[in-house]
Amino acid sequence: MPQASKALNLVLWMLQILAAVMFLYVGILKLFSAPMLVRGFAIIGLGQWFRYFTGAVEVGSAVLLLRPRLAVVGAVLLTCTMTGAVIAHLTRLHSSPAVPLVLLVACVIIVWGRARALLG
C-alpha cells in the first residue's frame, strides 16, 4: 500500500470515529427526547416521529461508520440526513447551519474516500 493510501486511510478512520461519536451522541439525545431537540423538531413541523426516525438513522449510521465494509453506506445515509439538517436550519429553524455543514462535509469526504477504496 503506497504511503499516500495509508495516510488517506488514517485520515478517513479519524473522521469516521469522530463522526460516529458525534452522531451516536446526538442520535441518542433525539431518541431520549432532549427538550431542546423536541422543541427544534416541533418548529420543523414534521412531527416528533421524524425526531425518532432521524435519531435512529444517526445511531444506526454511526455504527455503520465503524464497520469497514459498511462505512460508505453509513456515510451516504448521514450525508442525506445532514443535507436535510442544513436545509432545516436555514429555512425553518433560522439558526446557523455550521455544525451540520461541517458534519456534511466530513460525511462527503468519507463517502469519497471509502467508495474510492471499494471501487479500486
3-state secondary structure the chain: CCHHHHHHHHHHHHHHHHHHHHHHHHHHHHHCCCHHHHHHHHHHCCCHHHHHHHHHHHHHHHHHHCCCCCHHHHHHHHHHHHHHHHHHHHHHHCCCCHHHHHHHHHHHHHHHHHHHHHHC
Question: Which residues of the chain have a pLDDT value below 50?
Answer: none
Determine the pLDDT at residue 118: 74
Determine the pLDDT at residue 119: 76
Determine the pLDDT at residue 116: 79
Determine the pLDDT at residue 34: 97
Determine the pLDDT at residue 4: 64
Determine the pLDDT at residue 38: 98
Determine the pLDDT at residue 89: 98
